[in-house]
């Protein structure tokens, strides 16, 4: 994809935005993690399928399913578990290589640092530990960490802004990450978002991407989503579809 085509897509995506005022608050489909936890004793499943191609179609991957599990151990703290199954085909000169399996598992937590009724800004911090549990083609081989500071601002009842600043250490390589999600809710059920995101790694390597998508609130605890992303200074495209399901008072018996 040429630079001109990529910039055209970016300009088109700027017209779409997402709102953050839905009953269920999710960490998908955008790259920006929310500044909200799921709440005490609540369990949330966020899952989907993602199709990605890069390097002039020489590398094609399917992540199905990609799953984030969240459980609130208190009002402002949640435990997190990430797992995804990857199938990748790599086209080389004279031959193709295919491999599949579970990626390295991630376990972590999100802590809400700041939230007040009269203030429209919320802040949270999340951290994941990457466990080298996958096979040789998919593993990072060493324990890694993902850290993000998540901040959000409610600009109005329908418009919201969220952004992350992060530090990752994976495969003995450190990088700074960023994302900025801006959006609007067009109705009580339908919302759009637009988001630049990327990373700055060692040796001054900088990667910039852009994505957009929508969410549809089926009911207060169940949401559908779809998204599309494109690389700005790298050859990457993806499309993703998924759902999020919140189960209130998980494993808590109702008192008679």
Please, which residues bridge with residue 236 across strands?
54
Mean pLDDT of the chain: 91
CATH number at residue 206: 2.40.160.40
pLDDT tens-digit map of 69-97: 999 999 999 999 999 999 999 998 878 99
Q: What is the pLDDT of residue 5?
A: 52
Q: What is the pLDDT of residue 147?
A: 99
Does 256 fall in a domain?
no
Enclosing domain of residue 84: 3-247
Average pLDDT for 38-44: 97
Q: Among 99, 20, 23, which Cα is nearest to 59's?
A: 99
Average pLDDT for 39-61: 94
Does 151 fall in a domain?
yes
Q: What is the pLDDT of residue 14?
A: 41
Does 229 fall in a domain?
yes
Does 253 fall in a domain?
no
pLDDT tens-digit map of 5-37: 544 444 444 433 333 434 899 999 999 999 999
Q: What is the pLDDT of residue 2?
A: 59
pLDDT tier for residue 55 given thresholds of 50, 70 and 90? confident
pLDDT tens-digit map of 99-117: 999 999 999 999 999 998 8
Q: Report the C-alpha gap between 89 and 106 in whole angstroms.
A: 24
Average pLDDT for 49-59: 91
pTM over 0.85: yes
What is the three-class DSSP state of 30? coil
pLDDT tens-digit map of 159-212: 999 999 999 999 999 999 999 999 999 999 999 999 999 999 987 899 999 999
Does 255 fall in a domain?
no
Instruction: Please determine, for residue 225, whether its predicted confidence score (pLDDT) is greater than 50.
Output: yes
Tell me how long the chain is. 256
State the distance between the two ends of the chain, measured CA to CA, in whole angstroms: 62
How many C-beta neighbours within 10 Å does residue 219 have? 10
Instruction: Please determine, for residue 239, whether its predicted confidence score (pLDDT) is greater than 70.
Output: yes
Does 38 fall in a domain?
yes
Confirm if 227 and 242 have CB atoms less than 8 A apart.
Answer: no
Task: Please count the structural domains in the chain.
Answer: 1
Instruction: Please determine, for residue 254, whether its predicted confidence score (pLDDT) is greater than 80.
Output: no
Confirm if 198 and 191 have CB atoms less than 8 A apart.
Answer: no
Does 56 fall in a domain?
yes
Q: Return the ∠ at Cα 114 (arms to 192 and 154), rounded to 5°.
A: 30
Does 44 fall in a domain?
yes
């Amino acid at each position: 994809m040429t630079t001109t085509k990529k910039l055209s897509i970016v300009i088109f995506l700027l017209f779409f935005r997402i709102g953050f005022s839905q009953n269920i608050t999710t960490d998908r489909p955008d790259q920006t993690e929310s500044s909200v936890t799921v709440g005490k004793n609540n369990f949330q499943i966020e899952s989907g399928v993602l199709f990605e191609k890069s390097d002039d179609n020489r590398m094609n991957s399917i992540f199905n399913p990609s799953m984030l599990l969240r459980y609130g151990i208190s009002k402002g703290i949640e435990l997190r578990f990430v797992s995804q199954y990857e199938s990748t085909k790599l086209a080389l000169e004279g031959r193709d290589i295919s491999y599949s399996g579970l990626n390295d598992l991630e376990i972590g937590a999100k802590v809400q640092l700041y939230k007040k009724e009269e203030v429209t800004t919320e802040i949270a911090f999340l951290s994941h530990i990457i466990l080298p549990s996958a096979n040789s083609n998919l593993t990072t081989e060493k324990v890694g960490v993902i850290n993000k500071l998540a901040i959000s601002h409610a600009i109005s009842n329908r418009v919201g802004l969220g952004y992350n600043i992060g530090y990752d250490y994976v495969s003995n390589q450190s990088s700074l990450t960023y994302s900025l999600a801006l959006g609007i809710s067009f109705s009580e059920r339908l919302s759009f978002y637009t988001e630049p995101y990327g990373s700055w790694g060692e040796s001054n390597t900088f990667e910039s991407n852009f994505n957009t998508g929508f969410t549809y609130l089926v009911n207060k605890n169940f949401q559908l989503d779809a998204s599309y992303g494109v690389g700005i200074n790298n050859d990457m495209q993806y499309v993703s579809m998924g759902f999020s399901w919140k189960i209130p008072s998980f494993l808590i018996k109702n008192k008679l």
